[in-house]
């Protein structure tokens, strides 16, 4: 590995003769697989060489972060002049960051033990119940776990226990979230998660009298209008990713998957290279809610966008996920990073919709299919729904159809 970074014989010999050459070379190769540039790999190699000369890696004990900082501060004499203060501080932090990552990679780092939250056991037992007894999907369990954990973090006090929580705490928390922009539908879901937790807590004897008293905002059947953009706006959105840069090529493929197939952002993030069957022209989508894999015909436009991204923009790395970050360290693109892609571009285009996240394209897909004459059953199959009741949430009102009715001349009807 070193011979690919350093061409001068005396410099190459210096890196090879330094302490722990094999361990240093392994880490540099690991960083190369993460997509770091050659210049940054050279910097990593120099930092590791200097750090390895400052510590004893043969000792039986692992190194702590404090020992890393001590070794860095006593090995490198950073500039003390005021005009160089910022550069000196950034160099020191970079040195510590690289050294810490190397020791963690080798298993030589003494990780700091974080104090567990006092309510962690309650949440873990609740999650196990949802998985083993209720049989809920991992996505639903994770969502409810996060909801309950956030609530307990807000209301828990060091001098209190779970049994000390009262219904007034729940009501105050729901009201607080409502004042900070949560919609009635989101508050309704939050109340359901808390009710489920306290119902389990009461069965375990941890609390009493809370679950039945939790009141969620009332939701009405077929409430509200579709929140997605028009199909014309969707086409404008797709056309805006017309550049040849890596970001545009990746994001165009993502937006097409969201709009054409109506995928959720988590489903896009889970796509792997082997999910695209180029020979059979099939796209395999993992449905986390249904815990199954659903095949789709590979749309030519979507397929071309994915292929161009793979050929021209996707970084070379060991990850099998289809969509990756573009800057080192290269890693799979998280679901939470997909909505900002859609939101920022909708805002730049001036497209006005109540919600600009990735889910609005799922609404747009459903409305487009409804306008094209597809049945609720067909639309539900496209969106991965198990019942038409779920599909009706996406196609509540066919506004174009109502406008046609409104334009009818009914005076001649006797």
For this structure, is 359 an active site residue?
Answer: yes
For this structure, is 363 an active site residue?
Answer: no
Q: Which residues contact 219 (CB under 8 A, 6 or more apart)?
A: 184, 185, 188
Say what angle helices 338-349 and 359-371 make with each other, to 10 degrees. Answer: 70
For this structure, is 362 an active site residue?
Answer: yes
- DSSP at 221: T
Query: What are the DSSP calls for 9-49, one per residue?
Result: HHHHHHHHHSSSHHHHHHHHHHHHHTT--HHHHHHHHHHHH
Cis, peptide link before residue 368, omega less than 30° from 0: no
**With contact defined as beta carbons under 8 Å apart, do 303 and 260 qualify?**
no
For this structure, is 385 an active site residue?
Answer: yes
Catalytic residue among 119, 173, 261, 394: 394
How many other C-beta atoms are found inside a 10 Å radius of the C-beta of residue 66? 9
Query: In angstroms, rounded to a whole number, what is the distance separating the alpha carbons of residues 266 and 143?
Result: 13
- Of the candidates 272, 238, 266, the one whose C-alpha atom is nearest the C-alpha of residue 252 is 238
Catalytic residue among 289, 308, 331, 355: 289
Tokens of 239: 């056309």
Catalytic residue among 314, 319, 368, 385: 385
Tokens of 272: 């792997």
Half-sphere exposure of residue 158: CA atoms within 13 angstroms, side-chain side? 0
Catalytic residue among 144, 359, 363, 367: 359
Strand runs labelled E in 94-196: none
Query: In angstroms, rounded to a whole number, what is the distance separating the alpha carbons of residues 49 and 15?
Result: 7
Specify the length of the chain in residues. Answer: 414
Catalytic residue among 195, 252, 264, 287: 264
Element (H, E) at 94: helix 85-106
Catalytic residue among 319, 362, 363, 367: 362
Query: In angstroms, rounded to a whole number, what is the distance separating the alpha carbons of residues 278 and 342?
Result: 27
Please give the positions annotated as active site.
Answer: 264, 289, 359, 362, 385, 394
């Amino acid at each position: 590995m070193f011979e690919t970074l350093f061409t001068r014989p005396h410099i190459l010999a210096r890196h090879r003769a330094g302490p722990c050459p094999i361990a240093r070379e392994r880490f540099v190769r690991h960083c190369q697989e993460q997509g770091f540039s050659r210049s940054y790999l050279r910097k990593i190699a120099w930092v590791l060489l200097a750090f390895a000369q400052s510590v004893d890696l043969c000792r039986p004990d692992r190194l702590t972060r404090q020992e890393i900082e001590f070794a860095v501060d006593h090995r490198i004499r950073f500039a003390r002049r005021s005009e160089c203060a910022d550069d000196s501080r950034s160099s020191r932090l970079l040195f510590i960051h690289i050294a810490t990552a190397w020791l963690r990679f080798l298993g030589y780092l003494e990780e700091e033990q974080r104090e567990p939250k006092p309510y962690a056991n309650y949440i873990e037992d609740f999650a196990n119940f949802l998985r083993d007894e209720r049989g809920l999907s991992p996505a639903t369990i994770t969502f409810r776990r996060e909801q309950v954990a956030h609530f307990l973090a807000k209301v828990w006090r060091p001098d209190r226990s779970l049994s000390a929580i009262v219904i007034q705490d729940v009501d105050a928390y729901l009201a607080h979230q409502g004042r900070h922009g949560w919609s009635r539908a989101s508050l309704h879901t939050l109340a359901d998660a808390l009710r489920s937790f306290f119902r389990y807590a009461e069965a375990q004897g941890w609390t009493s009298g809370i679950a039945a008293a939790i009141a969620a905002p009332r939701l009405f059947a077929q409430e509200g209008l579709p929140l997605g953009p028009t199909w014309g706006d969707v086409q404008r959105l797709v056309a805006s990713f017309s550049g040849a840069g890596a970001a545009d090529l990746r994001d165009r493929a993502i937006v097409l998957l969201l709009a054409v197939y109506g995928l959720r952002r988590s489903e896009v993030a889970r796509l792997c290279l082997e999910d695209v069957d180029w020979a059979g022209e099939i796209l395999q989508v993992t449905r986390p809610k249904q815990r199954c894999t659903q095949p789709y015909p590979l749309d030519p436009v979507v397929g071309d966008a994915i292929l161009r991204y793979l050929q021209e923009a996707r970084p070379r790395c060991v990850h099998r996920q289809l969509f990756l970050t573009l800057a080192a360290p290269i890693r799979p693109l998280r679901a939470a990073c997909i909505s900002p892609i859609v939101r920022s571009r909708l805002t730049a285009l001036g497209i006005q919709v109540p919600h600009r996240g990735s889910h609005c394209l799922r609404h747009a897909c459903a409305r487009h299919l409804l306008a094209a004459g597809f049945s609720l059953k067909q639309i539900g199959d496209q969106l991965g729904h198990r019942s038409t009741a779920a599909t009706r949430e996406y196609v509540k009102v066919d506004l174009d159809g109502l406008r046609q009715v409104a334009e009818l001349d009914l005076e001649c009807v006797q």
